[in-house]
Chain A
Amino acid sequence: MEDDATPTAEPWQVMGENLDIMTGGIPWGRRMSFRVTKLEKGRVWGVQPWKERLVGDPDTGVIHGGVLTSFLDNLSGMAASSSLEKARFVSTLDLRIDYMRPAEPHREILGEAECYHITRNVCFTHAWAYHESRDKVIATAAGAFAINKPRSVESLREF
């Protein structure tokens, strides 16, 4: 394991250097083919491309709501982990998705998530999915994530 980050690097910095493997290393993430495009402390942006196999309505070609759930769940989880001072896994306690308007077929969906509050054991998140901007949102999500036991910051590279 090559080490270009100092041991004092914060989790979000290490995560930011390894955006591709953040989702590429997860079979379901690969299958959904979403990518993380940008990461700051407690804030994550991503793209969910349109794919034939993700269509939930064969008559309109619109992507299934479950794809958005996976996408926003993942982004929210990353926003939660990236907001912590120490490297820790988080696991979704619950997630609520509101479907505001249908996604348009054959268009990629942009997403962003933020962790807006942290307690000793729980991270609270908000997330948005849209085509152009948050003014015209397709779905929003509110999540709560349990913070698991600490692990080494280097282990973040092995996602």
Chain B
Amino acid sequence: MSDDLLPTRGEQVQAFLGRTPFAQEIGMRCEVMGDEMTAIMPFQQKLIGNFTIQALHGGAIAAFLELTAMAQVYLVTEHLERPPRPINITIDYLRQGHAKDTFARATITKMGRRMCSVRAEAWQDERSKPVTSLLAHFKVSGD
């Protein structure tokens, strides 16, 4: 990458996801639109947590949401050289995740100097019927 053509933060987020094994493992992609992004986790058989009812594993959805929240924070914190580290997360399992593609978006509720608070929601067929929601705190001081 040449100095006179630095990648945008959106490209950096994409690049980070592209070289992070676990993001690849869950098959996560994201579409960046300025300072917003939508993440996509296409359905794969290995994401199943319950055979009989063909439901996605809660842990897979939670991991997807945590990555989405982290990517969203990274997208808007130009001062950070590396993606932010999570302090804690709370996952609220609202509905059964079915054997189909899952989408997620994250909103930053409060951006502080050292920490930030983020909410993320995952949905499948209808955005208004979230499958799982997440509340996370990340460390955003660059040390």
Q: Which residues of A contact B (CB under 8 A)?
A: 25-32, 52-59, 63-67, 69-71, 73-74, 91-99, 102
Contact = CB atoms under 8 A, between A and B. Distances in A.
A31 B89 contact: no
Interface string B64-100: 1011000000000000001101111111110000000
A154 to B, nearest CB: 15
Contacts, number: 117
B59 A69 contact: yes
A53 B87 CA distance: 23
A102 B56 CA distance: 27
Contacts of A70: 57-60, 62-63
A97 B88 contact: yes
Given A64-B63, A65-B86, A54 B48 contact: no
A27 B63 contact: no
Contact of B49 (A26, A56, A58): A26
Contacts of B64: 66
Given A55-B21, A56-B23, A97-B91, 13 more contacts: A26-B49, A26-B57, A28-B60, A31-B46, A56-B21, A64-B20, A69-B63, A69-B66, A70-B62, A74-B59, A94-B93, A99-B88, A102-B85
A43 to B, nearest CB: 20
Interface of B: 19-26, 45-51, 56-60, 62-64, 66-67, 82-83, 85-93
A31 B25 contact: yes
Contact of B20 (A27, A56, A92): A56
Interface centre among A63, A66, A94 (most CB of B within 10 A): A66
B22 A69 contact: no
A84 to B, nearest CB: 18
Contacts of A95: 58, 62, 90-91, 93
A92 to B, nearest CB: 5
Contacts of A94: 90-93
Shortest beta-carbon contacts, A-B, top 7: A66-B63, A70-B59, A28-B57, A64-B22, A96-B90, A27-B48, A55-B21
A96 B93 contact: no
A71 to B, nearest CB: 7
A132 B88 CA distance: 22
A66 B22 contact: yes
Given A26-B48, A28-B59, A66 B66 contact: yes
A141 to B, nearest CB: 10
A65 B91 CA distance: 13
A102 B47 CA distance: 25
Nearest to B50: A26
A69 B82 contact: no
